[in-house]
Amino acid sequence: MRLAGSLLTLAAACGALAAPAAAQPEPGPPATVSVRVTDAATGAAVADANVSVGNTRTRTDAEGRALLPLRRARETLLVRRLGYAELRLEVSPGAATVDVALRSEPVVMAGVQAQGRRMPMSPPLQRFYQRMDHGRGSFVTREQIERRKPRRLTDLFREIPGVRVANTSRGDRLVMTGATPAMYRVGPRWEAGDCPVQYYLDGVSYQPDFAGVPNDVRPDEVEGIEVYRRLSEVPVEYRRRGAECGVVLIWLRERT
């Protein structure tokens, strides 16, 4: 009897061990909140609004809708959109779609001031500004002349890189750095000849006395000046014999 009882007790214990564990409830889907963002004045959907809960961010679609997960029983919803006032509100899991109406708040932009030069009407002056925009050579504009207020045309060349105003007994003379003078045979050797700068006044060849700076042209009459020190810089239409000594183009102002 004692043996039988022991066997029954042992069988019951083994049965208990072999019995499957009680099933655990499966976790449900994460809680979410549905948001619809509209314009408070018109009721129209606001697309591409920034919607965030905690560190989770998204944007509204074309219908102004977005879906966000909630990890706590109560979260702060933040809605932002350029041109609207920021809005914050508390949301909880299980709530129906949260309607958010944003109030219009126009963004005040800093004023922008645009400045532009008046384009001259004559084709030669238009080409002057076109060449200046291309950046080859050195240029003096009407604005620079008015700012510097030179007494003579000579003064406008003194700040141009690679150009030296030489004072001689016969007046001022321009000397271009890098100019290539013509070579002449003098007896058994070759010597560099004179290398005068070529001048053009309104596109017409113009030669001041002693190849000097044409100070007979008043600065207040000038619209712009072009200076080319090397032959490679000179515009094709002015690449004539002697252009390797430097070319200066002087353009007078339009008469109104």
And the tokens for 78? Answer: 């933040």
pTM of the model: 0.50
And the tokens for 121? Answer: 């009407």
Whether residue 76 is found in the same domain as residue 134: no
Whether residue 97 is found in the same domain as residue 148: no
The bridge status of strand 222-228 relative to strand 247-252 is antiparallel
Whether residue 71 is found in the same domain as residue 131: no
Q: Which of 52, 69, 102 is the last residue of a domain?
A: 102
- Specify if 52 maps to a domain: yes
- Specify if 145 maps to a domain: yes
Q: What are phi and psi of 146, to 5 degrees?
A: -65, -35
Question: Which of 49, 42, 88, 52 minimizes the C-alpha distance to 65?
Answer: 49
- Specify if 220 maps to a domain: yes
The bridge status of strand 138-141 relative to strand 222-228 is antiparallel
Q: For 195-243, how does the pLDDT look when each residue is reduced to its tens digit (9 = 90+)?
A: 788 899 998 888 765 556 667 788 999 999 999 988 888 999 999 888 8
Range of the domain at 37: 32-102
Q: For 168-203, how does the pLDDT look when each residue is reduced to its tens digit (9 = 90+)?
A: 777 778 888 766 654 444 455 544 456 788 899 998
* Chain centroid, CA 192 distance in Å: 49
- Specify if 164 maps to a domain: yes
Whether residue 228 is found in the same domain as residue 138: yes
- Alpha helix stretches (DSSP H) within the chain: 2-18, 123-134, 142-148
- Specify if 113 maps to a domain: no
Using pLDDT thresholds of 50, 70 and 90, give the confidence band for residue 6: low
